[in-house]
Amino acid sequence: MAVVEQRSERRVVANVLRGSIGNLIEWYDWYAYTAFSIYFAAAFFPKGDQTAQLLNTAAVFAVGFLMRPLGGWMLGRYADRHGRRAALTLSVTLMAFGSLLIALTPSFATIGVAAPILLVTARLLQGLSVGGEYSTSATYLSEVASKGKRGFYSSFQYVTLTAGQLVALGVQIVLQQFLTKQEMLSWGWRVPFVIGATGAIIVMYLRRGMDESESFEKQNAKGTETQRGTLRVLLSYPKECLLVVGLTLGGTVAFYTYTTYLQKFMVNTSKIDESTVSWVNFLALLVFVVIQPLAGGLSDRIGRRPLLLTFGVLGTLCTVPLLSTLATTRQPVLAFLLMLAGLVIVTGYTSINAIVKAELFPTKIRALGVGLPYALTVAIFGGTAEYVALGLKKAGHESLFFYYVAGCVLVSLIVYGTMRETSRDSVLDRD
């Protein structure tokens, strides 16, 4: 019996690793855009001041988020009808096309307005991809995880999500060591997108060898395809959909503030050197990756709500002081500690958000239920966080953004305070 359980656990680990590697590559491709936008902003848009060019790239970043709800719907529906493995393979294929398009698009000086148009097209493909990747990956990791370890295993979604950003930053650091700033501005920024497209193609083949989740196979055996993955079925769970929105709001704004935007914030506001900022981001995110499974495992012991409440309280109270202090410092060590403090706080959300949402919906609608309301919330609030921050900076009211983030977290805190403990009455146990 012990041998069978051991083999079963090894199978779980193998499937989690296969799914997670693909997730890492997908998010590397997504974050490469953010990490290298300070270099390619001038290549795709007309000459102007740095903040104006960053605003343009941030706008395209936000446009990519607008596709995420469509990706959450299309690939969530596909995953609920045709399987998690098939949807995960399709999502990484779309990402490969998007990254390759960015890598090969000529500059604005060469083809004029066609350059930003192609950039937007590529970003739309990437948005479609990650919209489906999140929902299907969260669903798959939750379904293949062993009971009693779901918080731990599902936390690897944000481990690999953030690891993708780390790899993007790592590539940036390496290129900064070997290329001059002029070479980075001229052609060096294209290298990470070539790497991303190549990695996505490799993962496309690796994902074909993943096991389908047992939950989906049981549901599929019932032969109720017409009742799976439809908006009509999803709308029969209105409370759960609204709960996903409330769960996500504060977390997504805080996450994108402390990860993707902080790099530009430290360069553009704190006036810290770009290469130093890359190292600050890399080291802080490395610690963030390590603590995700620890927090996920803790949730298996004490429940999900205590972690969410901790994030909600600290995020509401500490966001303004943290960002206000960071705005006035040029000390790399202090900047690292401030960024890390924000990331430790947001861990209360990131480490368990996937499993909490998956525990709300039955198998027949889980991928769509996890993906669509989440993607809508991220598109409206997470994807626009950077644009709101830069817009307020350009208007001379940058500090208002700090209060905006804290306010979003406060809304989610109210939701955390009223929701049930999902780990004690998980739909996953009833499938």
Q: What is the pLDDT along the chain (431 residues), one digit of tens a residue?
A: 444 445 467 777 777 777 778 888 888 988 888 778 778 777 777 665 556 556 666 666 667 767 888 888 888 888 888 888 888 888 888 888 888 998 888 877 788 778 878 888 888 888 888 888 887 888 888 887 777 788 888 888 888 888 888 888 789 888 988 888 888 888 888 999 999 989 888 888 877 777 777 778 877 776 655 567 788 888 888 999 999 999 999 999 999 899 878 888 898 888 888 888 888 988 999 999 999 999 999 999 999 999 999 999 999 999 999 999 999 988 999 999 999 999 999 999 999 988 888 888 888 888 888 888 988 898 888 878 888 888 888 888 888 999 999 999 999 999 999 998 887 766 666 65
Tell me which architecture the domain covering 8-210+226-429 has in CATH.
Up-down Bundle (1.20)
pTM of the model: 0.82
Spatial distance between the Cα atoms of 275 and 415, rounded to a whole number of angstroms:
39
Give me the pLDDT at residue 48, please: 59
Domain boundaries, the chain: 8-210+226-429
Give me the pLDDT at residue 193, please: 92
Give me the pLDDT at residue 323, please: 95
Give me the pLDDT at residue 227, please: 65
Give me the pLDDT at residue 4, please: 42
